[in-house]
Amino acid sequence: MLHTIAPSAPARPNWLRAPAPVGRNYQDLKKLITDLKLHTVCESAACPNVGECWNRRTATFMILGNVCTRRCGFCAVQKGAPLTVDYDEPRRVAEAVAAMGLNYAVVTSVNRDDRKDGGAELFALTIAAIHERVPGCKVEVLVPDFQGSLPAMKIVMDARPDVLNHNTETVPRLYRQVRLGARYERSLDMLAWAKELSPATPVKSGLMLGIGELQEEVLQVMQDLHDHKVDILTLGQYLRPSPKHLPIVRYVPPAEFDELKRAGQQMGFAHVEAGPLVRSSYHADDSHAAASSC
């Protein structure tokens, strides 16, 4: 059972360790990203898997700048006045994908509540640029909620991404603390709308654990996601980026992630990726392959 309070900050367990970001592939990719003036969520959100993923020559590109218009309590991405939209960015992302020799690319963004379409146009342009520059490369997009704009989601789906991902992040009770400016029901509706627009496209969502949710709340969110036609589910441990962010209430042991994975499989998800270091883009190509084979 997941707990809601902790008397003090828990000690980080020995089993929650990620490889250090070193190695030739890591250095090569870091230089490429810098040279092309791109952003990755790997660095901007302080992802613990940056060393492993970059050495596998995989990265999650973050478009529309690196300044978010929302102030979510869990996220390390910079907050403030948004940057000017760079319409050359899709071309440079596609160039990076080609240089890396990728056959699977993941693209996400900051929230852009300053724009009527929430940035959907740039997602569509980036999908098109990658498909044109690297024919055969699959593109997964991890999108914001576009403030519930159904036309914005249609812009993205009309560009034919190979996977549409939008994270619910946590349970409804914790939304005001964790996802300021977001609404649980709105996220569910956007996921269902994406599936309605393109029934053959896998739809994906994920949650962070360890910030005060209860076991039964997690299971209910999982059921809600399945009921809203989500195919792929990711479950991972919340890691506090800094003392200014939400505290970790509990480190969820691997055995509990295994139990939740089995529960998700029993619910009927096409694929469940669950573990302490799992993030929404972690082994995304493997998740897509597993879901596509179902």
**Residues 62/41, Cβ–Cβ less than 8 Å:** yes
Residue 7 forms part of a structural domain = no
Q: Which domain holds residue 43?
A: 24-292
The full DSSP string for 130-166 is HHHHSTT-EEEEE---GGG-HHHHHHHHHT--SEEE-
Residue 1 forms part of a structural domain = no
**Between the CA atoms of 12, 18, 23 and 27, what dihedral angle is there, to the nearest 10 degrees?**
-80
Residue 120 forms part of a structural domain = yes
**Residues 36/96, Cβ–Cβ less than 8 Å:** yes
Count CB-CB contacts under 10 A for residue 128.
Answer: 15
Q: What is the pLDDT of residue 60?
A: 81
The chain-wide mean pLDDT, for the chain, equals: 84
80, HSE (Cβ side, Cα atoms, 13 Å):
8
Quick one: which H or E segment has residue 40? strand 39-40
Residue 46 forms part of a structural domain = yes
What is the residue-level pLDDT of the chain in tens, covering all 294 positions? Answer: 444 444 456 777 777 665 555 556 667 777 777 787 776 655 544 555 554 555 555 668 889 987 766 666 556 666 777 778 999 999 999 998 998 888 888 999 887 888 999 999 999 999 999 999 999 899 999 999 999 999 999 999 999 999 999 999 999 999 988 888 889 999 999 999 999 999 999 999 999 999 999 999 999 999 999 999 999 999 999 988 778 888 899 999 999 999 999 999 999 999 999 999 888 776 666 677 767 766
Instruction: State pTM to two decimals.
Output: 0.86
Residue 18 forms part of a structural domain = no
Residue 11 forms part of a structural domain = no
**Residues 26/59, Cβ–Cβ less than 8 Å:** no
Rounded Cα–Cα distance for residues 279 and 133 (Å): 27
Q: What is the pLDDT of residue 113?
A: 86
Count CB-CB contacts under 10 A for residue 201.
Answer: 16
Residue 16 forms part of a structural domain = no
Rounded Cα–Cα distance for residues 35 and 99 (Å): 12
165 φ/ψ sector (left φ>0, alpha ψ -120 to 50, else beta): beta
CATH assignment at residue 170:
3.20.20.70
- Number of compact structural domains in the chain: 1
Residue 139 forms part of a structural domain = yes
